[in-house]
Structure 1
């Protein structure tokens, strides 16, 4: 039995890292890399996956990322999934096993292995929903639009208002002159 694992939120400048693992207990049609699916299709597939699969989803906050680093957060999340789901094999999308001997990895697995596609969708939808939810608490940043990625509009909001508690302070922004020095303080 294969458990596919994938993440969402490795690169954004705000919000959590979300890692999901999934075992398909019955076939689900139209699974693919979450980035290749429309939001509507991801939501439909998310409901099917959560109703018919064995899965586990892990959130690591921006504070976790700042204190431990993104790689350590990924490793901890993968190990939590491996301890929570009984499977014969674990396969992660990407090019590294993060030093975990029993974890296999494959580039583009999220587009070619159904279990990893399912994990990709679980992670992406969970993270997007979270970002939309917190946008109510941080209306100045429009998280519901860019989901925490470093868009021009998002960077301009940080320039104007500083970072919120949901931002990653360890991620430096060239556009703000941070590559050599200080990070802006949080206003919220």
Structure 2
């Protein structure tokens, strides 16, 4: 390809058709004297650097999965929950089994992923995962058994609902009683394991959608904005209107108004 015979627009269109930019092509872009072409070269270098960073992050976040597979484990579940801290709504857990060749660069702890990207990742995970299980424990049950036990109960339900028994579970932070498979509790696991990160994405999107539905039922509280967390707006609504049936009556910020 003779770059000197192509317009900047034509070069940009050629780049868009490439799955991977060859090094010699990138070098030719950098050597072209046109400012617009050199700008394209800088953009391509930045994009390549981002992809290399994401690939390195992926390698790091598959360490636990690779280690378990090297020991003969095949079906690995990542398990995570969302909703320990809110004053209202359920705690939602997810168990996800990803195929060995799964690749979704940028997958991370759901709190570190922008909303639009999180929604897109959710669709990919739901489409490509070998299994997905969801566990939901409501506010009344949380009040009855405490949030830690409710979290473990939601996780156990998610594993049971995934459809088959895993060889091992990678779990964010906690250990679950009653599992017959190997458990690998990882503190901060949603940022250290792709399986747990995938579970955190699905759990987060699932819970956020539930809270948006609750917002239709209880429009005064703004659940679609804060998902039940103790924002100033939410606390003011509780003080004005009182708790709803989905509020956690044992939590500070709610129990004072009950």
Bin the TM-score by the shorter chain.
0.7 to 0.9
Alpha-carbon RMSD across the aligned residues, in angstroms, is 1.6
Uncovered stretches (5+) of structure 2, i.e. residues with no partner? 1-74
The correspondence for 1:51, drawn from 93, 114, 127, is 127
Aligned residue number for residue 159 of structure 2? 82
Counterparts of 1:1-188 in structure 2 under 5 Å? 1-25=75-99, 26-53=102-129, 54-85=131-162, 86-94=165-173, 96-99=174-177, 102-173=182-253, 183-185=256-258
Kindly indicate whether the alpha-carbon contact (under 8 Å) linking 2:134 and 2:157 is maintained by their aligned counterparts in 1: no
Runs of 4+ with >4 A deviation: 98-101
Secondary structure of 1:126's aligned partner: helix
- Structure (1 or 2) with the larger CA radius of gyration: 2
Distance in 1, matches of 2:83 and 2:196, equals 16
Distance in 2, matches of 1:59 and 1:47, equals 20
Deviation at 1:77, TM superposition (A): 2.1
More strand by share: 1
Distance change >3 Å, CA 84–CA 136, structure 1 → 2: closer
Uncovered stretches (5+) of structure 1, i.e. residues with no partner? none
Kindly indicate whether the alpha-carbon contact (under 8 Å) linking 1:97 and 1:103 is maintained by their aligned counterparts in 2: yes
TM-score (norm 2): 0.65
Query: Deviations for 1:125-147, whole angstroms, at most 9, x for unmatched residues?
Result: 10001111110110000100111
More helix by share: 2
Deviation at 1:91, TM superposition (A): 1.1
Distance in 2, matches of 1:70 and 1:41, equals 29
**Number of residue pairs aligned between Structure 1 and Structure 2:** 177
Distance in 2, matches of 1:51 and 1:30, equals 17
Distance in 1, matches of 2:116 and 2:224, equals 15
Distance in 2, matches of 1:100 and 1:37, equals 32
Distance in 2, matches of 1:81 and 1:18, equals 9
